[in-house]
Amino acid sequence: MAGTGKWPRVIIFTTPNCPWCQAAKEYLRRRGVPFKEVDVSRDAAAARDLVRRTGQMGVPVLDIGGKIVVGFNRPQIDALLELKKK
């Protein structure tokens, strides 16, 4: 997987007023996982791509090494990042 060091590439699709997006970003920061944020409210092409890939417009959506996680699904995020419970 292409990524930084021990982590796969992580992209998080967000909007500015989404509390679950904020929670997901804070969770990744606390765990030391680098990520790229894409604000779909400002990037129409990314919003279209998100709908094409997931079939819906809800956020957050995380792309972890090419695998999609819809919503702040901590167990799924932990499994894809091989994180141990803290």
DSSP string, 29-48: HHTT---EEEETTT-HHHHH
CB burial readout 46-68, b (16+ within 10 A) else e = ebeebeeebeeeebbbbbbeeee
pLDDT of residue 85: 60
pLDDT tens-digit profile, the chain (86 residues): 445 568 899 999 999 999 999 999 999 999 999 999 999 999 999 999 889 988 888 999 999 999 999 999 999 999 999 987 65
pLDDT of residue 5: 66
Domain ranges of the chain: 10-81
pLDDT of residue 53: 87
Supply the CATH classification number for the domain 10-81: 3.40.30.10
Q: What is the pTM of this model?
A: 0.87
